[in-house]
Amino acid sequence: MRYLVTARIRPGREADLLKAIEDGTLGQGSVAGSEYLENMAQARWTDEGTARWVEVCFCWEPLAEERPYWEEYFELVKVQDAHSRRKCRDLEGTEPWACCDCDCTDKLEERMEGWGRPFLEVLREEARTSG
C-alpha cells in the first residue's frame, strides 16, 4: 500500500537528518533499505512547515516497521492512504507485492512536484543556517 506521509522535523535534528541522508545511513538496518533515501529525494517542503512524501509499506499497520527510523528525526503528523485501497492489487490479494512494480507512486510524485519546494533543498538551507 502507498501512503502520503506528512511530518515535521524534530527541533534541532536538521543537521543530523541531513548527515544521515548524505552518508546513506538513514534507515540503516531496516528491511526497507534505500527506500528512506529515495523518499527524502522525492519529498516536498510545504508552506505549513512540513515535509510530505509517498511511502510504500507492506505492514498491516501503516509504517509499522519504518516508524522508529522516521521518528528519530520527524514527528509524523499524518499518514494517509495515497490512493483508494480498492485499487491496490497487493492489498486486495490479486497480486502480492504489486506495489513494487506499480507506477502510482511515480504519478503521485509527479503531481507533488508543484507542492512547495524540494525537501532536501530546504533541509540543506536550514542545516547551514542552524549549524
Strand pairing category for 44-45 and 51-56: antiparallel
Residue 101, exposed/middle/buried by CB under 10 A (0-12, 13-18, 19+)? exposed
Residue 58, exposed/middle/buried by CB under 10 A (0-12, 13-18, 19+)? middle
The Cα–Cα gap between 40 and 21 comes to 8
Global confidence as pTM: 0.83
Average pLDDT over residues 91-112: 65
Any idea which of 46-50, 98-102, 105-109, 123-127 has the lowest mean pLDDT?
98-102
What pLDDT does residue 69 have? 96
Query: Is-contact 70 51, C-beta < 8 A?
Result: no
Alpha helices, DSSP H, located in 1-131:
14-22, 35-42, 67-71, 89-92, 104-112, 119-130
